[in-house]
Amino acid sequence: MKKIARLAFLASMTAAIAGTITAAPAAAIPHCVISSAAEGCFEPVGDDITVYDYAADGKRSVVRWVTDYGRSGECQNYSGANTSATCYYDMAETGKVQLTLGLQDGADGAFQTLGTSPWFPIG
């Protein structure tokens, strides 16, 4: 009888623990475009875009973004290699966003595209 009670207790504890472990919702996972020189990520919680610069090439890493409802902008990291910059936005939670990662020589230099993401849900 003690063995059955112990098994019942263990089963109830396992169920209680399993009920507290949940995976992060898909919307909470950052969506990124990655290259060897730079990385750009969109964080759905907060609508933040972070740009990482991995190359000591004298260029800034840039994420240009566009929504499916007509907004656009860009987030630049001009701090140099092995740094990041985060830009904070407030986007419509029902929309989608697309990122284009690139390098740029100065504020107004030519934009070199490194990659473009699929459309990510914002909220």
* Tens digit of pLDDT at every position of the chain (123 positions): 444 443 343 344 333 333 333 444 555 678 999 999 999 999 999 999 999 999 999 999 999 999 999 999 999 999 999 999 999 999 999 999 999 999 999 988 999 999 999 999 998
CA nearest 98: which of 78, 115, 76, 77?
115
DSSP letter at 16 equals H
pTM over 0.75: yes
User: Cα 121 from chain centroid?
Assistant: 11
User: Can you tell me whether residue 106 is helix, strand or coil?
Assistant: coil
| Top-tier CATH class for 28-121 | mainly beta
Give the pair of three-digit tokens for residue 12.
């109830």
Type of residue numbered 89 = Y
In whole angstroms, what is the distance from residue 47 CA to residue 94 CA?
12
Domain extents for the chain? 28-121
